[in-house]
């Protein structure tokens, strides 16, 4: 661990009490350029949007509990899953780890007092909150919210009478927020590292954020331009994508997925980073294959940018093109598998501390593996033709995005909670919540694999009676999952207000954030730390264990 000068017993007011301006109350928060406060602003607003989107998920599932109409009509059903998908992707999963935990912990983990562009950082949150409000505003306008699905496929998104413009504008603004965060992180990692913090001493969460930031900066402008073109076509009637206007709808799909597939790595890479952070701490073992894990993040970002058309195997591409995209899709699974292999190798023979952060990581590994394997199935041309646009695909992306990144966010919340708030949540309740969430989650999505394989289409409001047992189980699963989420968030909220005070390093972590005061001071460190070793060095612990002392 790093050498960090820390005046003994000098506790200063934390970032929760003072900040970078003199304002008190709300203004002290929304005008603060302190990366920790900006991280919390993202956390609270992101969770508010998450709860709204979970509400839509709950209602979608409730409608599907039995064939025919349950409580909403088909048009409302289309609007619910569209807003559910838009919010979950652009306002929860994409900002979840980079904008919340990256903002809070990246500067501390590299030994810096803030990101390099603090005002740009605050601007990225303003864009985030504006984009979020615009996304839901469509609901309040005549015609109601968009019913296109979160992919805004043309020509329907050019022709639909619902309010697709606010949703398109929201995604455009949120893309900018993501780009600014990426620029901030790349420049900060290059320029703000503490003395001795060389690249191979960087925590793996930082490597994953670095790879993610390059995808944010290089891929996001493409979706921005594409959505702007749909807005132009819709408002000015210029033919770009709509065949009636001489446009090409398949071109839209290429442009959309050239961003949206790499976007899944903006979602999963930081979650993989948090898993690499937590496993060594709760296994008390030095991570297995540090450099392989670090470089596999870069490899995933690179190869992940070359597979976008595997979403279009039923869109009429040439066999050669389909063969190439299918082949590269298999290649991308290799660096992901390297990570899973190294995580499991680190756990093997470790001194396992089964606390909530590790429990969510174990669920991550189980669910992400199912998501990964079914991704390989969908990458195989013959299987894809059969499963495209079925609920098998819906199960697949929920296993990678929710079962992966979502559970990664839950793991990060439970891991860094004591450092962020200086208090601890109830461990027993947290463990029960984890069990209920994990069980409900798998009961909700696993039946979707089976019925999708049997031919249940996605985005259908009604279905044949033979699918009902699966839908019934899946809906019950959603209730159990949501019950677990309510227990989890209530426990964290109570912990934040009344939890027991924690020491600065309750888990025995070996990275810089565990050396700071708890909660940290505004400048993070009393003086710039000097880094002398790599992260996760548990060699002493392992030797002692071997000697049985």
Residues lying near ligand HEM in the complex (CB under 6 A) are found at 54, 57-58, 60-61, 81-82, 84-85, 88-89, 93, 149-150, 394, 398, 401-402, 406, 444, 458-459, 478, 481-482
Minimum distance, C-beta of residue 259 to ligand HEM, in the bound complex (Å): 15
**For ligand HEM, the closer CB: 378 or 444:** 444
Measured between alpha carbons, how far is 430 from 434 in angstroms, rounded to an integer?
6
Nearest to 302 by CA among 328, 276, 271: 328
423 forms beta bridges with 501
The nearer residue to ligand HEM, 203 or 375, going by C-beta atoms, is 375
Residue 396 engages Cu ion in binding (rule: CB under 5 A): no
Phi, psi of 210 (to 5 degrees): -65, -50
Most distant CA pair in the chain, distance? 77
Q: Name the closest residue to Cu ion (Cβ).
A: 261
**What are the Cα distances from residue 77, in Å, to 112, 388, 472, 474?**
48, 21, 17, 17
User: Considering only residues 308-347, where is the footprint of Cu ion by CB under 5 A?
Assistant: none
Residue 261's binding partner among Cu ion, ligand HEM, none (Cβ under 5 to 8 angstroms by kind) is Cu ion
Report the residue number, 261 or 419, with the smaller CB distance to Cu ion: 261
Span from 82-90, 163-171, 254-262, 319-327 in contact with Cu ion (CB under 5 A) = 254-262
State which of positions 127-166 bind Cu ion (CB under 5 A).
Answer: none
Q: Quote the least distance from Cβ 511 to ligand HEM, whole Å.
A: 28
Residue (of 380, 207, 369, 355) closest to 295 by Cα position? 207
Q: Would you give the end-to-end CA distance of the chain in angstroms?
A: 22
- Closest separation in Å from C-beta 148 to ligand HEM: 8
Q: Residue 18 and residue 24: Cα distance in Å, rounded?
A: 9
CB of 303 to Cu ion, least distance (A): 12
Helices (H), 380-426: 381-387, 391-397, 407-421
Contact 511, 277 (CB under 8 A): yes
304/418 with CB nearer Cu ion:
304
Considering the complex, what minimum distance in angstroms separates the CB of residue 272 from Cu ion? 16
Using rule CB under 5 A, residue 261 touches Cu ion: yes
Between CA 387 and CA 396, with CA 393 as vertex, the angle to 5 degrees is 130
Q: Which two tokens stand for residue 436?
A: 């209920």
Closest CB to ligand HEM among residues 113, 458: 458
Provide the b/e sequence for 231-265 (b: ≥16 CB within 10 Å).
Answer: bebbeeeeebbbeeeebebeebbbbbbbbbbbbbb
Nearer to Cu ion, 219 or 240 (CB): 219
CB of 462 vs ligand HEM, minimal distance in Å: 10
Supply the minimum distance, in Å, between the C-beta of residue 479 and ligand HEM: 9
Nearer to ligand HEM, 81 or 507 (CB): 81
What is the contact surface with Cu ion in residues (CB under 5 A)?
261
């Amino acid at each position: 661990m790093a050498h960090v000068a820390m005046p003994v017993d000098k506790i200063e007011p934390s970032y929760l009490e003072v900040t970078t301006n003199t304002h008190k109350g709300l203004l002290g928060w929304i005008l603060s350029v302190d990366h920790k406060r900006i991280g919390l602003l993202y956390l609270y607003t992101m969770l508010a949007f998450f709860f709204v989107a979970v509400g839509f998920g709950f209602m979608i599932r409730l409608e599907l509990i039995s064939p025919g109409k349950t409580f909403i009509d088909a048009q409302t059903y289309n609007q619910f899953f569209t807003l559910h998908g838009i919010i979950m992707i652009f306002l929860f999963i994409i900002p979840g780890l980079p904008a919340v935990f990256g903002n809070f912990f990246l500067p501390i983990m590299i030994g810096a007092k803030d990101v390099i562009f603090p005002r740009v950082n605050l601007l990225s949150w303003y864009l985030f909150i504006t984009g979020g409000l615009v996304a839901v505003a469509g609901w309040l306008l005549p015609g109601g919210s968009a019913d296109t699905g979160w992919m805004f496929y043309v020509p329907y998104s050019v022709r639909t009478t619902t309010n697709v413009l606010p949703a398109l504008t929201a995604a455009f603004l949120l893309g900018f927020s993501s780009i600014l965060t990426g620029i901030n992180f790349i420049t900060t990692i290059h320029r703000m590292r503490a003395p001795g913090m060389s690249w191979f001493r960087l925590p793996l969460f930082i490597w994953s954020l670095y790879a993610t930031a390059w995808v944010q900066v290089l891929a996001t402008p493409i979706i921005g331009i594409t959505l702007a073109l749909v807005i132009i076509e819709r408002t000015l009637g210029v033919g770009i994508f709509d065949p009636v206007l001489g446009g090409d709808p398949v071109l839209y799909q290429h442009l959309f997925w050239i961003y949206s597939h790499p976007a899944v790595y903006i979602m999963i890479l930081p979650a993989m980073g948090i898993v690499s952070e937590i496993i060594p701490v709760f296994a008390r073992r030095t991570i297995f294959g540090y450099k392989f894990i670090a470089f596999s993040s870069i490899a995933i970002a690179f190869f992940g940018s070359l597979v976008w058309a595997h979403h279009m195997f039923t869109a009429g591409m040439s066999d050669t093109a389909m063969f190439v995209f299918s082949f590269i899709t298999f290649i991308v699974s290799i660096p992901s598998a390297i990570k899973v292999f190294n995580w499991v190798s680190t756990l093997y023979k470790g001194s396992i501390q089964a606390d909530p952060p590790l429990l969510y990581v174990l669920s991550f590994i189980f669910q992400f593996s199912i998501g990964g394997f079914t991704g390989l199935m969908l990458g195989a041309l013959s299987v894809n033709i059969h499963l495209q646009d079925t609920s098998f695909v819906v199960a697949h992306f929920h296993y990678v995005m929710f079962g992966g990144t979502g559970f990664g966010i839950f793991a990060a919340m439970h891991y860094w909670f004591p450092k962020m708030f200086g208090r601890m949540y109830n461990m027993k309740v947290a463990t029960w919540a984890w069990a209920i969430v994990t069980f409900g989650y798998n009961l909700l999505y696993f039946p979707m694999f089976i019925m999708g394989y049997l031919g249940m289409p996605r985005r259908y409001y009604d279905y044949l009676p033979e699918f009902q047992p699966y839908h019934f189980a899946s809906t019950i699963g959603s209730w159990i999952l949501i019950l677990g989420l309510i227990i989890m968030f209530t426990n964290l909220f109570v912990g934040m207000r009344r939890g027991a005070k924690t020491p600065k390093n309750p888990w025995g972590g070996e990275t810089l954030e565990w050396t700071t005061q708890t909660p940290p001071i505004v400048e993070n460190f009393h003086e710039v730390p000097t880094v002398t070793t790599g992260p996760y060095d548990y060699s002493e612990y392992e030797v002692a264990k071997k000697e049985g002392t």
